[in-house]
Structure 1
Amino acid sequence: MKKPNGNEIIQLFESWSPKKIACMENDPIGLAIGTLNKTVSKVLVTLDVTHEVCDEAIAKGCELIIAHHPPIFRKLSNLRTDTPEGKLYEKLIKHNIAVYAAHTNLDVAEGGVNDLLANALQLENCEILEQTYSENLVKLAVFVPDGHADAIRVALAKAGAGHIGNYDSCSFSSNGVGRFRVLEGATPYIGEVGEMEATDEVKVEVVFPTSIKNKVLKAMLNAHPYEEPAYDLFTMAVETNQMGLGRVGTLKEAMTLEQFANHVKISLNVPAVRAVGELNTKISKVAVVGGDGNSYIYAAKRSGADVFVTGDIKFHVAQDAQNLGLNIVDPGHHVEKVMISGVANKMTQLCEKQKLEVEFIQSEIHTEPFQFI
């Protein structure tokens, strides 16, 4: 086991919750305060970064905080240490505590906020509520001399090419004859300078998502025996890696809206919920969006959900949902706190697998600003 650099920890984090899947324009995600270029032995995972959370990180000896809500949400015009926010930033910097924020990318990620909420509500057969991210597939066709095709296939598979659904190492091969003439200055694997050459070749074809194109090409070029490999790349009209915001799933057994509201209250550990709809309405299909879901009532209705679970619902949005015939249960924004245990457990597993000696500590500070009387 070795103590990791902060960059190593975040590389692992972004392996499942990358910045590119964030779905809010100019979402202030990533390193917000401090540096990752240091040894990190303890990481505090929190929903929000407050003075109390900062004090907790100091007391527990944490060098890094991973938060869901960015501590600097809007661009700063100044950095004054006589304001509440400025004092917080000063305290973090003075104690050399870095803060990394994962906001809408953590909402979208598999195993992120919305999956954690769906799991807490015991939803089954979950699907994405609204797709926000996908990649086009790319097809690589590479021509390789007979006898080297297997080495190319293995190299491509190790780089992630040929992964389709629940299958990997997928490829297609066809045989043919390659022809070329070697020019001065070349150091050919086959053939002589100035001579025409014809040799048996295999065309190996694989598909992969756009995001790993450079990795796949590098693997192919390193494994190919030719000095100048011949290959084609085609961008396909097929999407892969579809991801999105919110989840839609079904309850194991139907219940009334009133029963379901109590189920949400208990499952998400909140003191109260707001409900929109007739309390005796039967609920089977549920849509959920962590945080503020005002913009997604129409997506929830299109999904066929009987009820939409989300926070911060506005008065007129509630009326719109009522007119649509969409029931709502609002447990508040703070239910996103499910990410604290979810991220801590996920990162502990990833770091143990990489033999990195680092402790992920779940914040015990309650950052819900509202009290129910």
Structure 2
Amino acid sequence: MKSTNGNAIIQQFESWSPKKIACMEDDPIGLAIGTLNKDVSKVLVTLDVNEQVADEAIAKGCELIIAHHPPIFRKLANLRTDTPAGKLYEKLIKHDIAVYAAHTNLDVAEGGVNDLLADALQLENREILEKTYHENLMKLAVFVPDEFSETLRLALAKAGAGHIGDYDACSFSTNGQGRFRPLEGADPFIGEIGEMETTDEEKIEVVFPKSAKNKVLKAMLNAHPYEEPAYDLYTLAVEANVMGLGRVGTLKEPMTLERFAEHVKTQLNVPRVRVVGDINRLISKVAVVGGDGNKYIHAAKRAGADVFVTGDMYFHVAQDAQSIGLNIVDPGHHVEKVMIKGVAEKMNKLCTEANLSVEFIQSEINTEPFIFI
């Protein structure tokens, strides 16, 4: 099988789950071990990286691992190969296997961990539970001769300007007259040196996320016929690309908390769940946060959720949830394993569309530390 540079693979991953949307301070995301500056033909996707996962990567010929949980969560004081962690890092390095971690950025990303959990629970009318990221919109107003307006509009749309909700290529135009006098040294597209010029022009206005500013301006300058285009640039108070942690949605049909708990067990493939609340209460609206969601019980309550599905629920937080009338179903932290299949399928699609030759393999190692008896 042909191989692809590791940087090109991660570039595709970060087009979907960029580092900037991570919502935990100093989240150790990105390349944790090894190098991406090498050929990669196979990528192993896993929730965690332990020695068994490393052995699996070696056996399957993978040069790169993409994991949800960072293998190095805190800064290392030393790197001793006579410790379990040091032995793991040594094995990965000796076999030239790079490890890339996508933690809270993958939680927040559209189609990431929390959407995958919401999909599994079959939630409808889905919304973000807790907003953690947004960009401000910017507006570009550019003046162009009438006969070049359509060309410029198309170039701006191709660069991502004018995308509003479920619509793209949005713009607004007004017509008027532009006046200018070319000076010595100019190379005017219209007019003569030293002579006043008046021409029919169109003012085109488009909005775009702030992160697209450089791309949009470059497209405008490349498509504009003038040597020195006239344009205005504004930062707007309007938010764009709103993203966040957790999801809240509704069940197709209400069910009792007891039946819903069974639904969670079946859909998330877990043998046991912990439940807080009246098992006979009807459940319609559900909030979910993958991993440890203890600090989001009040967000779930504000969102109108009847039940909150999350892992690692603390005793006193469970009591707090009970006191505010919020039911809890705790299926454990390990349900984030849904990302293994989800990431592998998403990355296969992205890399195929980008004509990158690489295979994404789903880890078969169970990294759940708990045994349910």
Aligned residue type for 1:106: L
Once the two structures are superposed, residues 258-300 of structure 1 have per-residue CA deviations (whole angstroms, 9 ceiling, x without a partner) of 1111111111111110000011111111000000000100000
**Matched pairs, number:** 373
Q: How far off its partner does 1:67 sit?
A: 0.2
Q: Distance in 2 between matches of 1:31 and 1:69?
A: 12
Which 4+ stretches in 1 moved above 6 angstroms? none
Query: Which stretch of structure 1 is more off in the superposition, 232-241 or 302-311?
Result: 232-241
In the other structure, the counterpart of 2:148 is 148
The 5-angstrom pairing of residues 271-310 of structure 1 reads: 271-310=271-310
Q: Distance in 2 between matches of 1:2 and 1:111?
A: 28
Once the two structures are superposed, residues 202-241 of structure 1 have per-residue CA deviations (whole angstroms, 9 ceiling, x without a partner) of 1111111111110000000001111111100111111111
In the other structure, the counterpart of 1:332 is 332
Q: How far off its partner does 1:176 sit?
A: 1.1
Aligned residue type for 1:212: A
Query: Which stretch of structure 1 is more off in the superposition, 305-314 or 194-203?
Result: 194-203
Aligned residue type for 1:226: Y
The 5-angstrom pairing of residues 109-148 of structure 1 reads: 109-148=109-148
Q: Distance in 2 between matches of 1:14 and 1:347?
A: 10
In the other structure, the counterpart of 1:371 is 371
Q: Distance in 1 between matches of 2:19 and 2:63?
A: 22
In the other structure, the counterpart of 2:63 is 63
Q: Say yes or no: does 1:79 pair with 2:79.
A: yes
After superposition, the Cα gap between the structure-2 partners of 1:314 and 1:219, relative to the gap in structure 1 and judged at 3 Å, is same
Q: Distance in 1 between matches of 2:369 and 2:3?
A: 36
- Three-state SS of the structure 1 residue aligned to 2:40 is coil
Q: Distance in 2 between matches of 1:305 and 1:231?
A: 47
User: Where does structure 2 lack aligned partners over 5 or more consecutive residues?
Assistant: none
In the other structure, the counterpart of 1:108 is 108
Q: Percent identity?
A: 81
- Three-state SS of the structure 2 residue aligned to 1:259 is helix
Give me the CA root mean square deviation: 1.0
In the other structure, the counterpart of 2:357 is 357
Q: Say yes or no: does 1:43 pair with 2:37.
A: no
Aligned residue type for 1:151: T
Q: How far off its partner does 1:2 sit?
A: 5.5
User: Where does structure 1 lack aligned partners over 5 or more consecutive residues?
Assistant: none
- Three-state SS of the structure 1 residue aligned to 2:143 is strand
Q: Distance in 2 between matches of 1:28 and 1:178?
A: 52
Q: Distance in 2 between matches of 1:328 and 1:241?
A: 30
Once the two structures are superposed, residues 145-181 of structure 1 have per-residue CA deviations (whole angstroms, 9 ceiling, x without a partner) of 1211111001001001011112111111111111112
In the other structure, the counterpart of 2:28 is 28
Q: Distance in 1 between matches of 2:357 and 2:237?
A: 44
Once the two structures are superposed, residues 291-348 of structure 1 have per-residue CA deviations (whole angstroms, 9 ceiling, x without a partner) of 0000100000000000000000000000000000000000000000000000001111
- Three-state SS of the structure 2 residue aligned to 1:261 is helix
- Three-state SS of the structure 1 residue aligned to 2:147 is coil
In the other structure, the counterpart of 1:250 is 250
Aligned residue type for 1:57: A
Aligned residue type for 2:38: K
- Three-state SS of the structure 2 residue aligned to 1:298 is helix
On the 8 A contact 1:53/1:365 being kept in 2, the answer is yes
In the other structure, the counterpart of 1:344 is 344
In the other structure, the counterpart of 2:14 is 14
Query: Which stretch of structure 1 is more off in the superposition, 307-316 or 199-208?
Result: 199-208
- Three-state SS of the structure 2 residue aligned to 1:211 is helix
On the 8 A contact 1:2/1:355 being kept in 2, the answer is no
In the other structure, the counterpart of 1:89 is 89
On the 8 A contact 1:290/1:335 being kept in 2, the answer is yes
- Three-state SS of the structure 2 residue aligned to 1:117 is helix
On the 8 A contact 1:2/1:356 being kept in 2, the answer is no
- Three-state SS of the structure 1 residue aligned to 2:251 is strand
Q: Distance in 2 between matches of 1:184 and 1:196?
A: 13
Aligned residue type for 1:216: V
Q: How far off its partner does 1:355 sit?
A: 2.2
Once the two structures are superposed, residues 3-49 of structure 1 have per-residue CA deviations (whole angstroms, 9 ceiling, x without a partner) of 32111111111111111111111111111111111111000000000
Q: Distance in 2 between matches of 1:165 and 1:318?
A: 38
